[in-house]
Amino acid sequence: MTVWAEVVGQADVVATFERAVRAAASELAARSPGAAGAAHAAGVQGGMTHAWLVTGPPGSGRSTAARAFAAALQCADGGCGVCHECRTVLAGAHPDVTLIATEHVNLRAEDVRPLVSLAQQRPSLGRWRVIVIEDADRLNDTSGNLLLKAVEEPPPRTVWLLCAPSPDDVLVTIRSRCRHVGLRVPPVADVAALLVRRYGVDEAVAAFAARAAGSHVGLARRLATDEGARIRRREVLRLPEQVRSVGAAVMAAGELVKVAAEEAQAATIERDAAEKAALLHSLGAEGTGTLPPAVRAQVKQLEENQRRRATRAQRDVLDRSLLDVLSLYRDVLVVQLGAEVDLVNAELADEVANLARACSPEDTVRRMDAIGLARERIGANVAPLLAVEALMVELSPVRGR
């Protein structure tokens, strides 16, 4: 099984990367003093270049594809999947492959500056020094300008792999220096097959998870392997039928935000405690009653970072919930228009039919637009409760009249 086994439904992208890996191997073999510039210039138009922009919608597997490419570049066999280089890269443990993902709203200058210095160093053990930035869309003007020079003129054996939802999400000065590779949403059947093969999931559960997640590989894996996630999703999808008045809408909004906060806390609480224990251990302050001022300052900084991470986690959970509700109204519109396509939420066919009878297609489209607006507001740091309350009022039949 090669490193590309987890890159689902992206045959064209895999072929592009495989050509680049072969070109990179040839470039290393042919390299001689003074030839690096020519090799780089030829690579931009040919198989290999030293700065890549990997884009695709959420769940398309852009980070997975970037990691697989990094592994293939380090592998003597072009990505066999079983050698030490492949296994360590995919596990995030290779000394010459750096993986960067932020849990803050933006990638800050202090996050990027060490990468610029690292990029100037020759690989210590591997064939290439590869730097993967999984959230290149979170670069701001300051951090982007810091990165620009390094991406524009990389050393001969440094490769940048930047990941983002779309080219437009990346600063134009950076994306113009990169070769673009675009991923698509993988077919539901391919995602389901991956869940069965990789995680031993029952075929029926795998098919449900892949369909319900909209082919988002990570969400499909969570739904397939976590019964609690399936229960929470079902509860979220029941909300539209329960929203019969403005008061019920406000109550439903509060419940949704509360569930999102609890799920986000459950996902981070153990990690937060482990991080704090590790910090105190490294500072020799374990078991001390009153912390010295210098230690208190570092603990305070850690807790602040953890609060930011918790805020982002809550908003991510809310966004997933809103996408689930959007899929429900998509099904409602399918029924209202008599379209001959499969329902995303086939197991909720009765609920979908009830909602379809209770409103017009115009009402359904308006509600879908309201969900999109709520997602935009939450992404723009509007208080989640206010954004969701406004949405639930829009979903209520009172607003539809």
Q: What is the DSSP letter of 49?
A: -
Count of domains forming the chain: 3
Cα torsion 26, 29, 30, 36: sign: positive
**Residue 300 domain-assigned?**
yes
Residues 315, 283 share a domain? yes
Q: pLDDT by residue for the chain (401 residues), tens digit each?
A: 899 998 999 999 999 999 999 999 998 888 654 444 444 433 434 579 999 999 998 888 999 999 999 999 999 999 999 999 999 999 999 999 999 987 676 888 888 999 999 999 999 999 999 999 999 999 989 999 999 988 988 888 999 999 999 999 999 999 999 999 999 989 999 999 999 998 999 999 999 999 999 898 888 998 999 888 888 888 889 888 888 888 888 888 988 888 788 777 776 777 788 888 888 878 777 766 677 787 788 888 888 877 777 777 788 889 989 999 999 999 999 999 999 998 999 999 999 999 999 999 999 999 999 999 999 999 888 899 999 999 999 988 755 44
Range of the domain at 213: 188-242
My answer on whether 296 and 391 are in the same domain is yes
Strand, coil or helix: 131:
strand
309 falls within a domain = yes
| Tokens found for residue 129 | 């020094």
Cβ–Cβ contacts within 10 Å for residue 107, how many?
A: 25
Q: Are 187 and 60 in contact (CB under 8 A)?
A: no
* DSSP 8-state symbol, 9: T
Whether residue 250 is contained in a domain is answered as no
- Domain co-membership, 170 together with 201: no
User: Is 136 a member of any domain?
Assistant: yes
* Parallel, antiparallel or unpaired: strands 51-55 and 158-164: parallel
The answer to whether residues 131 and 24 belong to one domain is: yes
Q: By three-state DSSP, how is residue 110 classified?
A: helix
- Cα torsion at 151, 67, 314, 228 (round to 10°)? 170
Residues 32 and 168 in one domain: yes
Question: Quick check: 96 and 126 in contact, CB under 8 A?
Answer: yes
User: How much is the pLDDT for 209?
Assistant: 94
Same domain for 174 and 194, yes or no, is no
The pLDDT value recorded for residue 36 is 45
Which of left, alpha, beta for 287 (phi over 0: left; psi -120 to 50: alpha)? Answer: left
135 vs 151: CA distance, rounded Å: 15
Cα dihedral 381, 384, 389, 394 sign: positive
